[in-house]
Amino acid sequence: MSNNHNSYQGGILAPASSNALFITLNRDPLKCQPVKSLLKQVSQLPNYLFELQKAYPEAELYLTLALSSDFWDFLEILPKPKQLQGFKAIHNQQVSMPATDADMILHIRSQRHDINYLLALRLFEQLTPAMQLDEMVHGFKYLDSRDLTGFVDGTENPEGKEREQVAIVANDAPFNGGSYLHLQKYQHQLNDWQALSLKQQEDSYGRTKAENIEYPAAQKSQCAHTKRTSIKDLQGKGIEILRHSLPFGDLNQSGLLFASYGASPESFNLMLESMCQLDENSATDSILRVTSAVSGHAFFAPNLDWFKQFQNS
């Protein structure tokens, strides 16, 4: 969110942060609360952000709050974003991309994990009369913005004014300024990955590891990650998303929190379909041999005017 109350939530377009919390929440069936009261609680959440932004400006703190299709229906908010649907699961003989939709996400990010955590505590306290925690995962910048596989992540992210064109809705009033958010949690099998040779790893991505130089198109395999995620629409224009992905990990498990923002959910859906599509050898995107999606969420992050309409209700 930003301090401009007539625009998109600032965390959507702001430059990458070194730390983030991805917090998914569900309504608590044992804590029934009037919808009007719950909406008012949700609408007050930006106030907590602004307080901490003022107190800790060096942290560059952002919050993006987004709701699922089912939760939007539960809250009986009309109208509803035209393309808001549940996560589109994909299952075939090689891969499984499950749908695990939660009701709400709080995407908190800054340069300080402690400030992220402080905001999370305040927001959760506000929501606990009606909501329960689904999952909270800490994502962090690893080395020079690399995934735990050792490859630079987010190389193809749009820059400058193109970020807004890619990520922000502009033709669906009253939802202009909003964004479609998808979140997947991938768990890496790093032992399997490290067993591959350097060339096998680089061929899997279609780029060099140390220098982060993309292969020429003619040298990429049909299953290289950069090949599978470089797709075009019917007009021949490249399909793009704005990524805010970060690694996560402890001594038991590790992987990537893949966060995608888009002006339409179709860009993400088409990219994921391309990764999972089986070729003539029943092969998918090469990196899916060593990582597995364990969750899949779809949300819509409304503009700041959306929050204001419920604050005095």
Residue whose tokens read 């949300």: 299
Backbone angles phi, psi at 249, to 5 degrees: 175, 155
Q: Which residue is listed with tokens 């939660």?
A: 102
Q: How many CB atoms lie within 10 A of CB 232?
A: 10
pLDDT recorded at residue 232 = 86
Whether the pLDDT of residue 312 is over 80: the answer is no
Mean pLDDT of the 262-279 span: 96
Residue 5 scores a pLDDT above 50: no
Task: State residue 313's pLDDT score.
Answer: 62
Q: Would you call 144 a catalytic residue per the annotation?
A: no
pLDDT of 310 strictly over 90: no
Look at residues 110, 255, 275, 100 and name the one whose alpha carbon lies nearest to residue 192: 255
135-149: buried (b, 16+ CB within 10 Å) or exposed (e) per residue? Answer: eebbbebbeebbbbb
The residues near 116 (Cβ < 8 Å, ≥ 6 apart) are 19, 20, 21, 61, 108, 109, 110
Strands 19-27 and 104-110, by their bridges, are antiparallel
Within 13 A of 174's CA, how many CA atoms are on the CB side?
10
Whether the per-residue pLDDT at 101 is higher than 60: the answer is: yes
Catalytic residue among 101, 103, 147, 153: 153
CB under 8 Å to 118, separation ≥6 — which residues? 52
pLDDT reported for residue 148: 98
Bridge partners, 184 (sequence order) = 258, 296
Inter-residue contact 10 to 62 (CB < 8 Å)? yes
Which are the contacts of 312, defined by CB distance < 8 A and separation ≥ 6?
none
Q: Which CATH class is domain 10-311?
A: alpha beta
Q: State the Cα–Cα distance between residues 121 and 136, nearest whole angstrom.
A: 11
Mean model confidence pLDDT for the chain: 94
86 pLDDT more than 90 = yes
Domain extent listing, the chain: 10-311
Q: Say whether pLDDT at 2 is over 50.
A: no
Residue of higher predicted confidence among 231 and 184: 184
The reported pLDDT for the residue numbered 12 is 98
Tell me the pLDDT band of 3, cut-offs 50, 70 and 90.
very low
Has residue 19 got a pLDDT over 70?
yes
What is the rounded average pLDDT of the residues 215-239?
91
Q: Give per-residue pLDDT as tens, 135-144.
A: 999 999 999 9
Please determine, for residue 63, whether its predicted confidence score (pLDDT) is greater than 60. Answer: yes
What is the share, in percent, of the chain residues with pLDDT greater than 90?
Answer: 87
Is the pLDDT at 1 greater than 60? The verdict is no
> For the residues 249-261, what does the mean pLDDT come to?
97
With 90 as the cut, is the pLDDT of residue 274 above it?
Answer: yes
Res 156 pLDDT > 60: yes
Residues 119 and 141: their CA atoms lie apart, in Å, by 19
Span of 25-34, 43-52, 99-108, 176-185 with lowest mean pLDDT? 25-34
